[in-house]
Structure 1
Amino acid sequence: MEIKGIDVSAWQKKIDWKKVAAYGMGFTIIRITEAGNVIDPYFEANYKGCTENKIPVGVYRYSYAMNIAEIQSEARKIVSILNGRKIQYPVFLDLEYNSQRRLGAESIHKMAEAFREIIVAAGYEFGIYCNLDWYNTVICSHLKKYDFWIARYPTNDKGILVERLRPDFGIGWQYSSKAVIPGISGKVDRNVFYKDYSKTEPKKEETTVDKLKEFTDLGDYYAGETTGTPYLEKKSAAYLDDFQKNTGYNNYTKFARDVNSWGQPGCQGQPWCAVYQFWKLVKVFGLAKALQIMGGGFYNCRNVTRHAQTKGTWKKTPKKGALIIFRNGAHIGSVRKFDTTYVYTNEGNTSSASGVIANGGSCRNKKYKLTSRDIDGYVWIDYGTGTDQKSTETAKTLSKTPKWVGKVTATELNVRSWAGKENPTIKKWPLLKKGNLVDVCDTIKAADKSSWYYIRIAGKYYGFVSATYIKKQ
């Protein structure tokens, strides 16, 4: 199977994508950022033109980074520009900068891995673009397990495919930089791919190993396991997505911000060890199952313990991926692995110091003796069941602005942590009585398609109630 496509940037200027599509185009890889880590001035027009004309899209970044911090900045810029938008093909890291080459294979390896982690954590495919010489002399064997798009064309490039130059590896080949096609004035790069990313079907069921690995990898990423740069809490709401900027001890984090946006109490400005674990579970399982695992009081470690005891998931022995509770509910982490002597953890709002640090300000990987008296117990998690509801449950940022006042018509009405009767009640105000007044802020559908209101109670508590039992005043 061969799919022919092009890659474009501001060099092609304005493109008539309707003509390109009519000519026949299997894919387009668009440059997303340029030197200075700024957006390519034609990226938005090119992305719009491709999507409107049903041409599958990927993006690439010509990297100028000279260290891990710089390449992480490049990756985060890409993620911020895409902002959750769908692309069918990967984000390609373009490695061809001569100054970068002098860093050596080991540094290139570490930088590429740091870039990849950010891209994959954001939900995008990852690939590497380079020429044949880079692949043979600079790229180490560890990186060659990833998808490579190889550039190789003749010195006397006439815009056509020269079969004798075809590489016998990689998922794609850039065979010309001087092709001519309708809709583009001047020359354009021409490619053939052997892997059709746009036809890749999602797995119908994630395996236990996949979900457990995703959860563990996510924790390792924020603990800086491979980069040496852990996520640090902030002194204010600025730079919440940056790992190092605006650091302080006021308990501001991206995790609390995101949890708030999902209609849950993210508790910004308060200790965040439990919110961090909840955030990871939502990313892996979706909001509904994360609430089922930790309960409606997920932001409080003691509530998590009580919920697990009620559900029968509270255990005295560790398990990979389990939550671990310390010091009578003073702190929480998750289990990365364990052996006969130690349990190895991933924690938020801790530090690199040994022992339980319940308000340390960063994400870290740590270890404790299994016999430590600081360990209360474990919340076991089944990573082999449950549907992935991330796409539907976290896609909508709920409004907290009251739209109208509603009156409860049922004798008693449960206030739940998410839309649906299967979800736990909130801890702050779990029950409403007939005649109670609430502020209705938003509307959402539950899994069974029933309508639920996102409400505010007493001016400060938020939760979900069935729309059937609320009458507009």
Structure 2
Amino acid sequence: MSTKLIDISYWQGNLDFKKLKSAGINYIILRAGYGTTKDSRFDQYAKACQSVGIKIIGAYWFTYALNVAQAKNEATICINACKPYNIPTIFYDFEYDTVKKAKAQGITLGSKECNDFTIAFCDTVKAAGIAPGYYCNDDYYKTMYSDRVKNKGYYLWYAHYKSDYSYHESPISCDIFQYSSRARLAGFNQNFDGDICYNPKLLGNSTNSSISSNTNKGNNTMTNKTTKEQAINAVIKTAQNEIGYLEKKSNAQLNSKTANAGYNNFTKYWRDIYPAYQTEPWCAAFVSWCFMKAFGLTMAKKLLKHWPYVYCPTLGSLFTKNANPKVGDIVIFYRSGEFRHTGLVTKVRGDKFWTIEGNTSGASGIVANGGGVCAKSYYNSKLPGTKFCTPNYSLVISIVSGNSSTSIPTTHTNTKNYLTVGDKGDAVKTLQTKLNKVGYKLTVDGEYGSATKAAVTSFQKKYNLEVDGVAGKNTITKLNAVIAAKSKNTSSTTSKAPSKVRKFVGKVNKNNAPVRKNPGKKYAQLTSYPTLNKGNLVDVCDTIKSASGNDWYYICIGGKIYGYILSGHVDKQ
């Protein structure tokens, strides 16, 4: 269960801590200080908490640093202040006033500085043997903080208020959620910062602590999260931890987020849930993997109603397809007449919803084969046909601990690496689709019957494979190679020399956007100018389709270097 707490600073005045304890406050976060100044009531509050049995789970430091060195110095001051009280976690607080005060001194602090200072502060805290975290509101989480901080493993203390400051659930996955600055407690005629702790590690407990029975039940007072809410939070947290993972060019270093990156669809997600599908598109596999890691294999099967989820139309036929998203839904994106891509809904606000998706890119719009795990957002009204499926999270009994584990489930279903007569399902549909691409005319019905066996046998004879009518690893590998060669030949025979006349000026919308020698992710990057960064301007001269059907811009860099960039990475200036 989640746990209620408050955070306090000098502004709360001379508090009665016995009364706080009676009001249900068993955990608290204290402001240790700001800039280079310790909070004048910090020691008073810390000693009072210890005397009545309120556990101090963390302290925060409001920063006025102007550079990395000052951020590290603030961390050292905070560490020294907290040591006498054995405070286990320290949070870095970079806010509007931080930026405002710097501006008054003629110094501009932006996203880069926010991330640099946070990392410097938190890593100094970590080196001292104290757990680091950072506090931010919804605005700064989206506009100032990048994956450089979000993927560091620091605790996230996230603030988001409703217009009436009443209690509500966190719209994103976080460790501590500050839902209001106007929470009220029994016996007190003043406002408090109201917080919910979702992560039992911050409390020093092996299981989540429940809210005290003395807690006031009111419009602006926290209550226990239900199992359903806890389950949704767990699967989103699992997905969030994967943001930045890149697919691999070979079956090596699958556990690393960025090593051995390529565009051959090798991932740890296929390895862990269905090894026979390694090298296939993996957006749905990513969803399956997140459910398995959060809840275990048996519960993942129940929630998804089949296993593994690898084909969007199948999911759509098993669930009620809702028109509007909810947090925790599985979105199935509709494009070109069918459901073709998927992800997890992590936040909803009006018409806009946020997702975490596998096999996509950070480019705007639906990118169904982008090669990484990314957090994205969309406007539902601009996605006609897209639907949302809601797993029955109330089935969840417990959350699997250690969701980052990469252990491989050892069931017969998951390790079977061939298809044969009698098999049914999405794997067979994929095989049938591939066979049709090389000239066969099968009905894609997902049933491995006599017609499918005959096509496999014919293919094996044609390419001197073992003729047994079974689609094993060698057969699938050869089938993939033939399809790739066929696509390459088609592309080369229909290609034409791209124009070198500028059509418009384009502005790159992401960092480290690859510039390639030919249109397609499989081609090498330019030696002279391998990547572009957000804000770079280029001349867009032509639009060329790759063999996979994606649009690539033929661009000129600096008036003399020509190359290809995925069209989604460039906006018209």
Task: Note whether the superposition's TM-score is higher than 0.5.
Answer: no
* Structure that is richer in helix per residue: 2
Q: Whose Rg is larger?
A: 2
Tell me which interval the TM-score lies in, with the shorter structure as reference length: 0.3 to 0.5
Q: Which has the higher contact order (CA 8 A, sep 6+)?
A: 1
> What TM-score do the two structures reach when normalised by structure 1?
0.42
> What TM-score do the two structures reach when normalised by structure 2?
0.35
